[in-house]
Structure 1
Amino acid sequence: MAALRTLWMGLVLLGVLGVLQTRAEAQVSLQPNFQQDKFLGRWFTAGLASNASWIREKKAPLPMCTSLVAPTEDGGLNLTITFLRKDQCETRTLLLQPVGPPGCYSYTSQHWGSVNDVRVVETDYVEYALLHTESTKGPGQDFHIATLYSRTQTPREEVKEKFAAFAKAQGFTEDTIVFLPQTDKCMEGHQ
């Protein structure tokens, strides 16, 4: 009887999680007719919004970073991110594997061991891109981040407003949205 009750509770939880996951996925749209070849090249991470406590704690000293997007032979993307950390340039490369429709990718974090789903929600390819990343590290440890990519270090005010509206539509509050200051450090070599 106890085993049957445990099984029943497990199925109920899976059903609830499935509904919640479907709702979250329904809220995050996808760039129509995403063209990966136009998305390639250098982007600057100009804005972030997240439910992660480390972003709220470190948002003041967090400078802009560069991301170089290159194709892989299997149709995925190599995303090489260079950022300033403790006055030193650090580089991380993520292998984004295509999953689902064009513009949907997945990668496994070497640092956290978590699986992350990345969606290109909106882009004009020449000026900005809005991305949404979702990760689950374990029970109760859901991580969501909205990212503003810009082709320049100085995105137009309209693009910033578009990002803020996008982040708020994803449930982020004003205090979780940050625009990263531009820097000359760690930018060379990423043309």
Structure 2
Amino acid sequence: MAAGNGPWMALALLTLLAGLQTPALSEVSVQPNFKQDQFLGRWFTKGLASNATWFQEKKAKLSMCKSVVTAAEDGALNLTVTYFRDTQCITWSLLLEPTGTPGHYRYNKPKWGGNHELLVRETDYDQYAMFITRSTNGPDEGLFMAMLYTRSQDPVAKKELNEKFRSFAHSQGFTDEDIVFLHKIGKCIDDQ
């Protein structure tokens, strides 16, 4: 990530954002017939949406990161995120625990406090995935973010995917000012 983004990158995958009225958990759907095994592998964070003040201040400096999703025990997923910050590559990992609904996971990161959720709302597994993350209790209760992952840094259907994500973000209550499409910088996210 670009220099000075510090804590933002925790957001690149899973920090959650303030101020948005979110639907009750029971009202949020996940990808029908979600196939976890097809969701595994490498993804790139291509789009983010948030109306948090700090996000609005930093969104012009944000750049793409790489996430790798692998299977863990008992239906959980390991999520490893790599990004560029200052002059180095930063990597961190989370364990996404299943909730009993395919495509719906919980996670905890002591640095953030509270409990968080990730819900895969839509994916074709081969090109893109759109999901939301949010905090369900603790100091960040009610924080919310929408994300677009792509399998490629330069997706073939880039314009169509961007518009699909923009519509998705609008359906979650975000405005155009709340949405950013991230540029690639190559550092840390290209395979060696």
Q: TM-score, normalised by structure 1?
A: 0.82
* Aligned-pair CA distance for 1:182: 1.0
Higher alpha-carbon Rg: 1
Q: Percent identity?
A: 52
Gapped runs of 5+ residues in structure 1?
1-19
State how 1:130-169 maps to structure 2 within 5 Å. 130-136=130-136, 138=138, 141-155=141-155, 156-169=158-171
Aligned residue number for residue 90 of structure 1: 90
Cα distance in 2, alignment partners of residues 75 and 140 from structure 1: 26
Cα distance in 2, alignment partners of residues 26 and 174 from structure 1: 26
Preserved contact between residue 51 and residue 143 of structure 1 (Cα < 8 Å): no
Change (3 A) 1:110 1:174: same
Q: 1:182 is matched by which residue type in structure 2?
A: K
Preserved contact between residue 113 and residue 138 of structure 2 (Cα < 8 Å): no
**Structure showing greater relative contact order (alpha-carbon pairs closer than 8 Å, 6 or more residues apart):** 2
Preserved contact between residue 114 and residue 141 of structure 2 (Cα < 8 Å): no
Change (3 A) 1:75 1:169: same
Cα distance in 1, alignment partners of residues 126 and 190 from structure 2: 20
Aligned residue number for residue 4 of structure 2: none
Aligned residue number for residue 29 of structure 1: 29
Does residue 65 (structure 1) correspond to residue 30 (structure 2)? The answer is no
Aligned residue number for residue 51 of structure 1: 51
Q: 2:127 is matched by which residue type in structure 1?
A: E
* Aligned-pair CA distance for 1:52: 2.8
Aligned residue number for residue 39 of structure 2: 39
Aligned residue number for residue 3 of structure 1: none
**Higher helix proportion:** 1
Q: TM-score, normalised by structure 2?
A: 0.82
**Cα-to-partner distance string for 1:57-115 (whole Å, 9 max, x where unaligned):** 11111110000000002210000001112232111101000003100000012321121
**Cα-to-partner distance string for 1:33-54 (whole Å, 9 max, x where unaligned):** 0000000000000000023332
Preserved contact between residue 81 and residue 91 of structure 1 (Cα < 8 Å): yes
Aligned residue number for residue 187 of structure 1: 189
Cα distance in 2, alignment partners of residues 140 and 60 from structure 1: 24
Cα distance in 2, alignment partners of residues 97 and 154 from structure 1: 30
* Aligned-pair CA distance for 1:184: 0.7
Q: CA RMSD in A?
A: 1.9
Aligned residue number for residue 113 of structure 1: 113
Change (3 A) 1:173 1:189: same
Aligned residue number for residue 8 of structure 2: none
**Cα-to-partner distance string for 1:14-48 (whole Å, 9 max, x where unaligned):** xxxxxx87x43355321000000000000000000
